[in-house]
Amino acid sequence: MLWPGLEGLLSEAVATESLPLRQLLDHVLSGGKGLRPTLVRICAQFGPHDPAEVNRVAAAIELVHLASLIHDDILDGAPVRRHRPALHSLYGPIPAVLTGDYLFATAFALLAQSPRAVLNIVTATIRIMCEGEIEQRIAPGLNEQAYLGHIGKKTASLIGAACRCGGVLCHLKRSGQESLARFGWHLGLAYQMADDLLDLLGRSEELGKPCLQDLSQGIITLPVLRFLELVPQAGYWREKISQGLTPEEREEIAAAVRSSGCCEYAEQRAREQVDLAFSALESLPPCPARDELARLAGQVLAKIEGLDYSRPSQEGAEEEEVAGSQATV
């Protein structure tokens, strides 16, 4: 979803004479989905805008996102990202952390040339993302409200910020900026809920990483939360999850959740978030940009349309595939 002007700017922004760093950056910058910069670009089309300025802000937000993924993978011990070894798996955690820091610094160099309002939005959002990560690890909570808070801060906040920044760049009124931010927030919640469902259902081909990773890291997502609210053995499973599940136990609880109707519940909640995203668009003027945002929201639903909750997961398949290819990376 990246476009030539953005790709060129990203390459120029991160350029370095350090050959080792260049190798790490090449690995990070290839294969991204580009959702967040795309949202900046679309939302800037609600009014007159400077394309160069849009590219600059879109690049900065993409770099913030990429840096956060590097750090997240280290914190989670995740071996795979986007069907390839995670950066820390190839080069170790210290070079990976520093690469993430380099991307953050580069993002702020770009933002320093952008409107102050954009800089304020992005810096506030990074703080919110850090809060979400810390809260999930120190005070995870075992209810739906806590879950929504965590994914809101960790995922939806940056998607909402991307949309709001686009509105700032086209000088949209504050009410319009808030509508765009609200759209992005609900889109981000739905996006994460869909990914959580795919993780539980073993759809590594959609996620680009191994499945059942949330359970392996002790992260309780919405389908599992719902399951724990309904079953008599909830205490047993909470204790098991807190202690660390074996691969057999992960598959056992995943199968139980899939057969309990809790995945259908989570899917419905994701659909509700998409509906709220659509509602946020209603106050914006009809135009191609609004239509494109609606199309993107519909794509989230397409990810979970017609999922077979009875199909066994395929935990580890992605890890095995990538492990076999590491020698050529």
pLDDT tens track for 198-241: 888 865 555 555 678 788 888 889 999 999 999 888 888 888 88
User: pLDDT value at position 325?
Assistant: 33
User: pLDDT value at position 327?
Assistant: 26
Give the residue from 12, 33, 107 showing the smallest Cα distance to 300. Answer: 33
Question: pLDDT class for 26, splitting at 50, 70, 90?
Answer: very high
Structure tokens at 243: 């202690």
Measured distance CA(197)–CA(313) in Å, rounded: 11
Three-class SS state of 211? coil
84: phi then psi, degrees, rounded to nearest 5: -135, 165
Which of 133 and 82 is assigned the larger pLDDT?
A: 133
- How would you classify the pairing of strands 84-85 and 80-81? antiparallel
Residue with tokens 């005070």: 139
pLDDT of 81 above 90: no
Please give the angle made by the CA atoms of 259, 263 and 266, to the nearest 5 degrees: 155
> If you average pLDDT over residues 154-163, what whole number do you get?
98
> If you average pLDDT over residues 76-90, what whole number do you get?
89
User: pLDDT value at position 319?
Assistant: 43
User: pLDDT value at position 241?
Assistant: 84
Measured distance CA(256)–CA(117) in Å, rounded: 48
User: pLDDT value at position 204?
Assistant: 56
Measured distance CA(24)–CA(129) in Å, rounded: 24
User: pLDDT value at position 49?
Assistant: 97
> If you average pLDDT over residues 267-281, what whole number do you get?
97
Which of 106 and 234 is assigned the larger pLDDT?
A: 106
> If you average pLDDT over residues 138-162, what whole number do you get?
92
Domains, the chain, ordered by start: 8-13+20-172 (1.10.600.10), 173-283+295-316 (1.10.600.10)
Which of 159 and 137 is assigned the larger pLDDT?
A: 159
Which of 165 and 82 is assigned the larger pLDDT?
A: 165
273: phi then psi, degrees, rounded to nearest 5: -65, -40
Question: pLDDT class for 290, splitting at 50, 70, 90?
Answer: very high
pLDDT of 62 above 70: yes
pLDDT of 139 above 90: no
> If you average pLDDT over residues 168-188, what whole number do you get?
98
* Least confident piece of the model among 2-16, 262-276, 313-327: 313-327
pTM: 0.91
Is 254 within 8 Å of 313 (Cβ atoms)?
A: yes
Given phi > 0 = left and psi -120 to 50 = alpha, else beta, which region is 143?
beta
User: pLDDT value at position 190?
Assistant: 97
Average pLDDT, the chain: 89
User: pLDDT value at position 322?
Assistant: 35
Three-class SS state of 131? helix
